[in-house]
Amino acid sequence: MQKERLLCKAEINRYNTPSNATYLSPESQNDMIECCAQEITDTIVSEMSTSGMYAIMADEARDGQSEQLALCVRYVTEGTVKERLLALAEIKSFDAQSIANELQQQLQMRGVAGLKCVAQTYDGAAVMSGSKGGVQAHFRVLHPEAIYVHCYAHELNLVLCHTCRAIPEAAEFFSFLENVYSFFSTSLVNHHKFKEAQSKLGIASAELVQLSNTRWACQLRSINAVLDTLTAIFDCLSAIGSPMAVGLRAKLHKFSTVYLLLMFQSLLSITEGLHKFLQKETVDLAEACFGKQAVCDTLIGKRTDAFATELYDRTKALCEIHNIPEADAARKRKQRKMGEFVVETSLGLGTELSCSQTLKTELLLPCLDRMVCELDQRFSTVDAGLLKDIQACSPNSKNFLDTSCLTEFAKHYGIDVKTEEMLVARNFLAQKREAGCPPKDMLAVHNLLDDDMFPSLKEIIQVALTIPVSSCSCERSFSALRRLHSWLRKTMGQKRLASLAAMSIEGEVLGPLSHNSVIVATFKNRRYTLMRPPTK
């Protein structure tokens, strides 16, 4: 085997070299790195083979002058759900057929293409998600059972993005926050004055947060940072006095701006937990849907006069602290001197929203309604009938162990389900509940069921557990890639990069393996040589 050849090569080098020598040659480094990566891949493939089924998650990202494709797999083994990086490959063509072929080739190279692939999860890019010519369509030709799941974490991000696009005041508000961040971060002088203002006021030192179009958790962090340092921002902008500072202060010193700060702080705090929940590796599709519905119901619950009044009162109290007046709703006059010019920003034409009813009807309700509408529409990429069948595997569902749902679900994956098993399973789990140890989720049900007593039912639930909710594992792989492919390592080849990525991302797989304790230690210290091989 290739792995054995590399180990033998390392041993030969050890015995043919003086005892005080170090192995710094590129060949020795690459041999050891490749050997470690191969150990990791072999372990993952072994676990996948034992599981008998898997799902794929894939995403692509630009890395310098190349395009990297991360292929992650999800499977159930030893009573746990695992998501692992299986391959990192450079792609030359970016059409759907080429990407699908690359995915299949990577699976074949590792000997898992023959296993049952139950699902595929990507982001919403057209080349990946297209139902006719996308990667998911081409991949299903080779794996007909692999249903497509649009990454739920991306879906939630799109909910918030499209809400802001539909509400002009919301889009303008977040653009303003980005301008405030840029003002204090791009200039060291302004940044130092901002820190000094916080120190003089006795405010805990805090940094403003840059907004991100792909990570909406940053939006809430940005809002919280502005609210926490609002007094320092006002004082600093007044002290600087430049035209930009005056304009930013005038915009921030508005009742409607403070209202938007508190409104989005409340709304985004509701969705923040779901953001984190959807990024968990162990979350299943049924629980994700329950979480989404809980958020949706909570947002609907905010559509009341009581919440609108509370929000207005909180805004009024904060404005009184900073001497911000409640302006009457009056339309500003158009600046005629700019009438013949083409400009990229507003001319000041708009309405200053101030009274409680106006703020409620023009800002709060439109944002709430749009978010609820987007949540309902975007979290429905999985067929409703199939989703209902998956939920029948969850003990938290109303149709738990429903015979018709599970039979239809099993039929899609070619599983011969037995009705008698489900009848016995209901009584078996009822006894567990009476004994005070009811299963809390789908994984707990899977682990309670015996392989010999409930073979087909356990296989059905294993399929439901294997279906991914998001492609966040691929995103985490790219985060590791940025740390590895630094300016000091720009000239490394693809093979070395992929091997280092496997060691960095899946290091916990390598740790327990025999003969590798020294290798892991030297890698974590950023030294890629075998300094002290295991003694005989």
Phi-psi region of 328 (alpha: psi -120 to 50; beta: other; left: phi over 0): beta
Q: Is the pLDDT of residue 488 over 50?
A: yes
Average pLDDT over residues 411-418: 88
Does this model's pTM top 0.75? yes
Q: Is the pLDDT of residue 232 over 70?
A: yes
Please tell me the number of Cα atoms within 13 Å of 48 on its side-chain side. 26
Q: Which comes out higher in pLDDT, residue 29 or 137?
A: 137
pLDDT at residue number 522? 41
**Residue 428, C-beta contacts closer than 8 angstroms, at least 6 positions apart:** 448, 449, 453, 454
Average pLDDT, the chain: 82
Average pLDDT over residues 380-392: 80
- 3-class DSSP state of 349: coil
Average pLDDT over residues 146-174: 88
Average pLDDT over residues 255-273: 93
Q: Is the pLDDT of residue 71 over 50?
A: yes
Closest CA to 270 of 216, 212, 206, 215: 216
Give, in order, the Cα–Cα distances in Å from 216 to each of 219, 333, 389, 477: 5, 35, 31, 19
pLDDT at residue number 137? 92
Nearest 5°: phi and psi at 324?
Answer: -100, 120
Confidence band (pLDDT; 50, 70, 90) for 521?
very low
Contact indicator for 278, 378 with CB cutoff of 8 Å: no
pLDDT at residue number 526? 42
Q: How confident is the model over 279-293, as pLDDT tens digits?
A: 888 899 899 989 999
> How many beta carbons lie within 10 A of that of residue 45, not counting itself?
17
Question: In which element (H, E) is residue 248 found?
Answer: helix 243-252
Please give the share of the chain, as a percent, with pLDDT higher than 70. Answer: 83
Average pLDDT over residues 188-202: 91
Confidence band (pLDDT; 50, 70, 90) for 36?
confident
Q: Is the pLDDT of residue 2 over 60?
A: no
Q: Classify domain 48-151+470-507 at the CATH superfamily level.
A: Ribonuclease H-like superfamily/Ribonuclease H (3.30.420.10)
Q: Is the pLDDT of residue 476 over 90?
A: no
- Bridge partner residues of 116 (DSSP): 53
Confidence band (pLDDT; 50, 70, 90) for 343?
very low
Q: How confident is the model over 120-134, as pLDDT tens digits?
A: 999 878 888 887 889
Confidence band (pLDDT; 50, 70, 90) for 502?
confident
Distance CA 235, CA 233 (A): 6
pLDDT at residue number 94? 83
Which residues belong to CATH 3.30.420.10 in the chain?
48-151+470-507
Closest CA to 39 of 485, 479, 531, 506: 506
Confidence band (pLDDT; 50, 70, 90) for 179?
very high
